[in-house]
Structure 1
Amino acid sequence: MTRETAIPRALLPRRLGQLYTGLVLYGVSMGLMLRADLGLEPWSVLNQGISRHTGLTIGTVTIVSGALILLLWIPLRQRPGLGTVSNVVILGVVMDATLALVPELHALGARIPLLAFAVILNGSATGLYISARFGPGPRDGLMTGLHLRTGRPVRLVRTCIEVTVLAVGFALGGSLGAGTVVYALTIGPLAQFFLRRFAIKGLSEPPSQVVARGGASTERAILQK
């Protein structure tokens, strides 16, 4: 019996609610970071750079890149879950919708608080959707898959991936700035806090306990820097 089948069915509505609420809020946070215009998280830097050269919206690029990354799971023998597939579609759609609804800001006094709110929202969204236990997003799964296949430390794998993504994205014209640094320094602690806050009682092994205990898990690997 797998861990997933051991999860009580009575928890399914709560888990689905957390999954989709988390993914929607994650997409909103990505759009708000772009509107703050103070630097993006690594993958959005890459997606923005590609968007500027293709004419596609950044949300569309996010969807396409997520699907392409998911193909890399095949040789890594990673198995996608409901959360993985939902992640591919929802983030890009919600990001574009957020950009359509939120106007561009010019005053630094408005952009700095917006960045802070977006990063906190991203951390809470991460806690929500990971705690639902429906599988990692395509980019997180790529990291954990490479870790398992190569035996290299998670932090090294994550650093190599994100440095490469940042470099390519910046070369393509993606926004690299103070917001990128703020995100890198704060997203781990924020996500750990919200993992504990949104942990669902009754699951066999709450993500917050996995992170605190330091055991090997997808949730822990995603949060390691």
Structure 2
Amino acid sequence: MTRRLVQLFVGLWLYGATMALLVRAGMGLDPWDVFHEGLTHQLPLTFGQVVILVGALVLLAWIPLRQRPGFGTIANVVVIGLAADATLAVLPEASGPVWGTAMLVAGVVGNGMAGAMYVGAGLGPGPRDGLWTGIVRRTGASVRRVRTMLELLVLATGFLLGGTVGIGTVLYAVAIGPIVQLFLPWFEVRRVAAAEPATT
């Protein structure tokens, strides 16, 4: 359990930090972060505060879906937003396209590794992931259809609110799944069942 908790919090903090890296790269964000950034233009809140607010509201949407949050789910709502704001406070914007590209690649790869870390800890999904899995379970629709429609909705809304869409958005959409899949075996915590007593 100690390893799982450490891995959870390191993964969540890294996830928020790499979100900030993508913001500072200025080349496009993943759909949910386009939405988060768009809301910062409409509300007197920081990026991290919006991440926390949206996470909490999405968690409320779990209630009619009869989803049950884990400890990691609650931690996700708070820690990622705090990490994003802490990193944004010290990280300057990219000074040119070379640095922007480097920050973009580092942000996408680091975000995928961070996702594998907190998912691999097995202490509960993030609120946004739990939303689409809950919809799939309640409606019987396909995972691909529900997740695609949900992410297109938040992407379009975020874009209309002024969030940054660009090559980074496309790179994230294409690369994040394979990156998480690559790192997940490194971080997935397997609980070993107790040995059954020998029978004669």
The TM tier, using the shorter chain, reads: over 0.9
Q: What CA deviation, in whole Å up to 9, does each residue of 1:50-109 have, x standing for no partner?
A: 111112111101100100000000000000001100000011111011000101123111
Q: Among the aligned pairs, what percent are the same residue?
A: 51
Distance (whole Å) between structure 2 residues aligned to residue 144 and residue 85 of structure 1: 17
1:165 has 2:154 as partner: yes
Aligned to 1:5: none
**2:183 counterpart of 1:197:** no
TM-score (norm 1): 0.84
* Greater relative CO, 1 or 2 (CA 8 Å, sep 6+): 2
Instruction: Please state if 1:84 is matched with 2:73.
Output: yes
User: Which one of the candidate residues 38, 48, 51 is aligned to 1:59?
Assistant: 48
- Identify which of 57, 72, 75 aligns with 2:64: 75
The CA distance in 1 between the partners of 2:28 and 2:192, in whole Å, is 37
Amino acid at match of 2:14: L
Partner Cα distance (2:71, 2:165) in 1: 32
Q: Does structure 1 residue 13 correspond to structure 2 residue 13?
A: no
CA contact (8 A) 2:136 2:146 kept: yes
Superposed, which structure 2 residues align to 1:1-225 within 5 Å?
12-203=1-192
Report the aligned-residue RMSD: 0.9
Distance apart, 1:201 and its partner CA? 4.0
Distance 2:177 2:168 in 1: 15
Paired residues, number: 193
Looking at structure 2, the residues matched to 55 and 177 of structure 1 have their Cα atoms a distance apart, in angstroms, of: 25
> 5+ residue gaps in structure 1?
1-11, 205-225
Task: Give the counterpart letter for 1:188 in structure 2.
Answer: G
Does the 8 Å CA contact 2:31/2:154 hold for their aligned counterparts? yes
**Secondary structure of the structure 1 residue equivalent to 2:180:** helix
Gaps of 5+ in 2: 194-200
* TM-score (norm. length: structure 2): 0.94
Where 2:41 maps in the other structure, the secondary structure is: helix
- Opposite residue 41 of structure 2, the aligned amino acid is R
- Separation (CA, whole Å) in 2 of partners of 1:156 and 1:113: 32
Q: 1:74 to 1:121 in 2, by over 3 A?
A: same
CA–CA distance in 2 between the matches of 1:136 and 1:202?
17
Q: Distance in 2 between matches of 1:97 and 1:121?
A: 17
CA offset digits 1:146-180 (Å, max 9, x no partner): 00000000010000000000000000000000000
2:162 maps to a residue whose letter is: G
